Amino acid sequence: MKSVFALGLGLLSLAAALPATLSASKPPSVNGTRFTIDGETRYFAGTNSYWIGFLTNNKDVDSVLSNIASSGLKVLRVWGFNDVTRKPGSGTVWYQLVSSSGSQINTGADGLQRLDYVVQSAEKRGVKLIVNFVNYWNDYGGIAAYVSAFGGTKESWFTNDKAQAQYRKYIAAVVGRYASSPAIFAWELANEPRCKGCSTDVIFKWASDTSAYIRSLDPAHMITLGDEGFGLPGGTSYPYGTSEGVDFVKNLGVKDLDFGVFHMYPGSWSVPNSFGPGWVKDHAAACKKAGKPCVLEEYGVTSDQCNVEKTWQQASRAADGMAGDMFWQWGDKLSSGQSPNDGNTIYYGSSTATCLITDNVKAINSM
């Protein structure tokens, strides 16, 4: 791996070239099994937008973040990655070219400057961001892009020295741009990391080493894993097992991971929607025992969203150990039309948004 000193010199040069927004206020932090955000300690509501950093119209970014803020949502999770294995044509946003012959981090107008604008807009509106560094899935490059460049498999990616060296270079570039921003809530190692059939030691060690590396770059902000929450006591169905190489309880023990996250998609996991409240309670219990907050970071269904998902929100608000919930995903009107809809999307201004955003925020404010 490259020298930390060499990376540090590069980051200093990069930071000097970018306008930094400094804040006298403390960044979000853990307070028991809750978070303190802008001096206030409480449960929060949030959401996800994987696509906001890929928008090319600044007015769209501002409009979306204004709507999120006015809805009372405190935290937005965004994709801090957009990997390609060959350079796309002009006008296509990409953040990193991953190549065995020489990777390139795109700091241009169609690269990380798009993420820069999201961070700047979030700063102005008091929205805090969870920024993710790589995708387990193939969308927007992900681990598959590294495998294409450096060989191996998705399972061996976690221990592939060349792949991990480039992954760390990318982390350093992103953290270096925003380490002083008051908009950062937390850095996230990966979106839904899995290592199918692997010992749970593989992801545990990778998470330990990577989170320690991030901490060395930025000791001020929180760090989390980004997993689905597989592997914990309380049930015998597929999500409770460790077949995907993930042990939620074990990973809570990683020193430099500040809080636990988990996701919930019963339809994808072949369990009923009624599975939800128990899944929430079991994670909350694990987090309480570990002394760290839990966040229901992604959840969704494609039908009867209000009736199904509000029971999950109620369970999360009531569970000792839970600190927030973030539905997947935010929907809005853009200059090009409606934002992406994967079936789980909840559009701003809809009756479903009233049920799952307005009513949830109201209930949180009365806690």
Catalytic sites, residue numbers: 192, 298
Strand order in the sheet with 34-37: 29-31, 34-37, 40-42
Q: How far is CA 103 from CA 89, 166, 191, 332, in A?
A: 17, 8, 21, 34
C-alpha–C-alpha distance, residues 8 and 23, integer Å: 22
Q: How far is CA 95 from CA 81, 167, 328, in A?
A: 6, 12, 23
* DSSP per-residue letters across 189-239: S-BS---TT--HHHHHHHHHHHHHHHHHH-SSSEEE--------TT--SGG
Strand order in the sheet with 294-299: 222-224, 184-188, 128-132, 75-79, 44-49, 322-327, 294-299, 260-264
Tokens representing residue 5 in the block:
């000193």
C-alpha–C-alpha distance, residues 258 and 138, integer Å: 27
C-alpha–C-alpha distance, residues 312 and 301, integer Å: 11
Token pair 């990778």: residue: 206
* DSSP per-residue letters across 100-140: TT--EE--STTTHHHHHHHHHHHHHHT-EEEEE--BSSSTT
CB 362: neighbour CB atoms within 10 A? 11
CA neighbor of 297 nearest in space, from 40, 39, 48, 28: 48
* Beta-bridge partner residues of 325: 45, 296
* Beta-bridge partner residues of 96: 83, 105
Tokens representing residue 342 in the block:
């994967």
Q: Are 31 and 225 in contact (CB under 8 A)?
A: no
